[in-house]
Amino acid sequence: MGFILTQYSKRKSMQKTKNGVLEKSDLLYGAVNGFIFGALIPIVLKNLEVQIDLVKYLAIVVVFTILAVVGVYIGSLLSRIAGFFFQLAKFGAVGAANFAVDFGVLNLLIFLTGIASGWHFTAFKATSFIVAVVNSFYWNRRWTFRKKGGEKTGKDFMQFLFVSVVGLLLNAGVASLIVNVIGPIGEIGDKTWANIATAVASIIVLSWNFLGYKFFVFKK
């Protein structure tokens, strides 16, 4: 009887943590997304006139690469309490990389043109978000929600596109509202305010995307 109860307990534990089984690929993918974040954030800081030398740049890349791996590992441990924690940790790593891609592309466009407001900003914001969405689809499908390559790819893409388009409208709309309607507060410069607007919009859209991808696009 004790043996049966033990085996039952093990099966229940496996079912509870099946989404939290840590594999080497999880650590590798976490490192890649952390690297993306660390490599692109200095572009944002450069545009904000924050001076970063090569040593500091490399340090930022290394630190965020390690933090992403640690975050994924902690998520796998917390999944013993609730399975979704591991998935949330991976989504967070991908989200951080998307955040950096979004900011990096936006600031690159601002840097190249010297424009940080008006309809140009809206166009830049939409462009940076689209690039981040492409990155998001790849990593979330392959890693976060683990959908196989040929499994309902077309349907997944259309649903992903729908959620992403709504996210795009929210992202560009909220950011543009803060930049063009509310405007900079106090002595905050245009470039700094543009990044604050992007941060607020990204946080809102991050929540929308996770729920949409988990329960609509990649549901099993």
Are 62 and 37 within 8 A, CB to CB?
no
Q: Please name the residues in contact with 154: beta carbons below 8 A apart, sequence gap of 6 or more.
A: none
Model pLDDT, residue 75: 92
Q: Are the C-beta atoms of residues 96 and 146 closer than 8 Å to each other?
A: no
Reading the chain (220 residues) residue by residue, the pLDDT tens digits are: 444 334 434 444 444 444 458 898 999 999 999 999 999 888 888 777 788 888 989 999 999 999 999 999 999 999 888 777 898 899 999 988 988 998 888 888 888 888 888 888 889 888 987 888 788 888 988 898 887 666 677 788 788 889 988 988 888 899 999 988 888 887 788 888 888 888 888 888 878 888 898 888 887 6
Residues in the chain: 220
Going from the C-alpha of 150 to that of each of 58, 136, 142, 147, the distances in angstroms are: 38, 18, 11, 8
Q: Cα separation of 74 and 220, whole Å? A: 24
User: pTM value?
Assistant: 0.69
CA dihedral 136, 14, 25, 61 (to 10 degrees): 70
At residue 141, the pLDDT reads 86
Q: Which residues contact 218 (CB under 8 A, 6 or more apart)?
A: 140, 141, 144, 145, 147, 156
